[in-house]
């Protein structure tokens, strides 16, 4: 392992020499997106509908239905329509596979017809049907719509005919539905369905935020809502999770929720100093602890001497699997599996807690800067670097937290070894940064900024190599 480490060391040193200014490399998290309001998106939908109507002889309501069922791909719709209009309309549940019976077609002209749902008699004019010819009275349609809408079903509403799965288009619904409140609900739910079926659109998950994010390339990348500032993954809509991919983070979070009983005892705010045994409370984010009594420097995670955690050889983030586990008893294997999970979970959880504690540090920094500015010790701009340092620390630690589920599910091998090496480097530099920020008053600005550079470089290197989108 140590030999491998030496190789990776070169891998970094080439780009780290400050004399050799490398051109600004591409940011692995760079992502083009736009934050839109409901009206903007409605306009976008209308333009798509108009585009389809201009190219094909279909009504706007059917064009919208086609777009909705074909992921808003107008080009694909045109191709399919040209290849066989009838097949497309049947497949899209707009046209019935078999033409309607002739007797049904004459209903509208009748003087008195009974509705097959409510059994009441009305004049033919009072009946409506889709292309399938399943005629029902307007009252029954209206009741049908009301029930469906109240269940949240709108764009996928079907005909009431026995065994008929034809979809009810928007104009048909709105021509029958009278109650304003239901019309409003229908339009609201439909809009939400359209956004969900559009691969380039995503609702902002922020509470009470109606922003819709548009990205031409739908990837699992970081989006920050312009309005509510919530940060999320464009692809899955959950908390941003690089370098872990959408499926893996989902699996991890489910596992954490399932195993929360087992893992709960891990969250401890106090531990005993490994040297003098005095009780120590962790009230900062940094894992590099110093005993207030005996001054021993140790690691909060493994309780070993901090000196063994230099960036050259940082082992604390790496789980050492038992290479012979396959030959052990089922019981031993289960115990090993739990041990492994708890190792990763403890680090995941600890970084989450550090993030919260460092948020408090950030607040304290702002207060300290205010005091200094009031006392005419420099201006806000002079002290801005401290705030930048705290923000960068949060960004780096966040990524670091999400490296643990990634490593947990990774298969053992050279790629995992490289990942763990980079993770360890990031871990070491982040703790150095956190240590310096907690002691910002006595840390030299240049030194702090240098540490920021190193930490961010470690972070982007790891993402560049392992961020799959």
Residues at the contact surface with Zn ion, assessed by CB under 5 A? 115, 117-118, 132, 134, 137, 140, 159, 161, 164, 166, 204, 206, 209, 211, 220, 225, 227-228, 233, 235-236, 246, 273, 275-276, 291, 293-294, 296, 299, 301-302, 316
3-class secondary structure, 458:
helix
**Nearer Cβ to Zn ion, position 146 or 453?**
146
Q: What is the CA radius of gyration of the chain?
A: 31
Q: How far is the CB of 233 from Zn ion (least distance, A)?
A: 3
Q: How far is the CB of 364 from Zn ion (least distance, A)?
A: 25
Task: Compute φ and ψ for 291, nearest 5 degrees.
Answer: -65, 130
**Nearer Cβ to Zn ion, position 64 or 235?**
235
Is 118 assigned a catalytic role?
no
CB 431 within 8 A of CB 309: yes
CB 399 within 8 A of CB 462: yes
- The DSSP result for 331-396, as a single string, is HHHHHHHHHHHHHHHHHHHHHHHHHHHHHHHHHHHHHHHHHHHHTTSS-HHHHHHHHHHHHHHHHH
Q: How far is the CB of 287 from Zn ion (least distance, A)?
A: 7
- Straight-line distance from the first to the last Cα atom of the chain, in angstroms, rounded to the nearest whole number: 29
**Nearer Cβ to Zn ion, position 225 or 424?**
225
Q: How far is the CB of 207 from Zn ion (least distance, A)?
A: 9
| Catalytic entry in 225, 273, 286, 396 | 286
Q: What is the 3-state secondary structure (H, E, C) of 16-41?
A: HCCCCCCCCCCCCCCCCCEEECHHHH
**Nearer Cβ to Zn ion, position 248 or 390?**
248
Q: How far is the CB of 313 from Zn ion (least distance, A)?
A: 11
Q: Which of 254, 241, 420, 282 is nearest to 343 (CA)?
A: 420
**Nearer Cβ to Zn ion, position 228 or 253?**
228
**Nearer Cβ to Zn ion, position 145 or 383?**
145
How far lies 322's CA from each of 333, 342, 412, in Å? 10, 15, 11
Q: How far is the CB of 194 from Zn ion (least distance, A)?
A: 19
Q: How far is the CB of 113 from Zn ion (least distance, A)?
A: 10
Antiparallel, parallel or unpaired: β 222-224 and 212-214: unpaired
Number of residues that make up the chain: 469
Please state, in angstroms and rounded to a whole number, the distance separating the CA atoms of residues 61 and 258. 45
CB 161 within 8 A of CB 132: yes
**Nearer Cβ to Zn ion, position 341 or 402?**
402
Beta bridge partners of 158: 167
How far lies 175's CA from each of 170, 178, 183, 364, in Å? 9, 8, 10, 61
The residues annotated with a catalytic role in the active site are 286
């Amino acid at each position: 392992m140590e030999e491998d480490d030496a190789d990776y060391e070169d891998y970094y040193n080439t780009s780290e020499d400050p004399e050799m200014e490398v051109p600004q490399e591409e940011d692995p998290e760079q992502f083009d997106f736009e934050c839109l309001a409901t009206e903007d998106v409605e306009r976008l939908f209308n333009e798509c509908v108009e585009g389809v109507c201009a190219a094909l002889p279909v009504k706007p309501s059917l064009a919208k239905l086609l777009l909705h069922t074909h992921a808003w791909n107008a080009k694909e719709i045109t191709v399919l329509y040209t290849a066989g209009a009838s097949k497309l309309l049947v497949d899209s549940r707009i046209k019935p596979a078999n033409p309607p019976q002739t007797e049904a077609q004459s209903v509208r002209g009748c003087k008195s017809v009974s509705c097959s749902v409510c059994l009441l008699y009305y004049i033919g004019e009072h009946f409506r049907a889709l292309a399938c010819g399943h005629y029902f009275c307007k009252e029954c349609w209206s009741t049908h719509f009301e029930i469906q809408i109240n269940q949240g079903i709108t764009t996928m509403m079907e005909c009431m005919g026995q065994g008929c799965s034809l979809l009810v288009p928007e104009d048909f619904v709105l021509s029958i539905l009278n109650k304003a409140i239901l019309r409003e609900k229908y339009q609201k739910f439909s809009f939400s369905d359209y956004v969900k079926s559009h691969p380039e659109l995503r609702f902002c998950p922020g509470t009470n935020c109606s922003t819709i994010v548009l990205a031409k390339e739908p990837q699992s990348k970081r989006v920050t809502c312009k309005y509510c500032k919530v940060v999320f993954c464009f692809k899955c809509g959950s908390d941003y999770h690089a370098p872990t991919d959408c499926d893996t983070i989902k699996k991890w979070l489910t596992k954490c929720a399932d195993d929360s009983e087992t893992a709960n005892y891990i969250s401890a705010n106090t531990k005993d100093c490994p040297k003098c045994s005095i009780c120590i409370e962790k009230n900062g984010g940094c894992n590099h602890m110093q005993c207030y009594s005996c001054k021993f420097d140790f690691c909060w995670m493994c309780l070993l001497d901090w000196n063994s955690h230099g960036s050259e050889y940082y082992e604390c983030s790496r789980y050492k699997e038992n290479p012979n586990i396959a030959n052990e008893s089922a019981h031993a294997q289960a115990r090993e599996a739990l041990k492994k999970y708890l190792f990763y979970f403890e680090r995941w959880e600890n970084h989450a807690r550090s993030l919260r504690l460092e948020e408090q540090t950030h607040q304290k920094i702002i207060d300290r800067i205010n005091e200094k500015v009031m006392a005419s010790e420099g201006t806000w701009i002079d002290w801005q670097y401290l705030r930048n340092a705290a923000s960068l620390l949060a960004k780096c630690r966040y990524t670091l937290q999400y490296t643990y589920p990634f490593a947990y599910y990774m298969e053992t091998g050279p790629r995992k070894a490289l990942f763990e090496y980079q993770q360890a480097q990031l871990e070491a530099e982040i703790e150095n940064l956190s240590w310096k920020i907690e002691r910002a008053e006595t840390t030299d600005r240049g030194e702090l900024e240098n540490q920021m550079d190193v930490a961010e470089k470690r972070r982007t290197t790891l993402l560049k190599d392992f961020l799959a989108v």
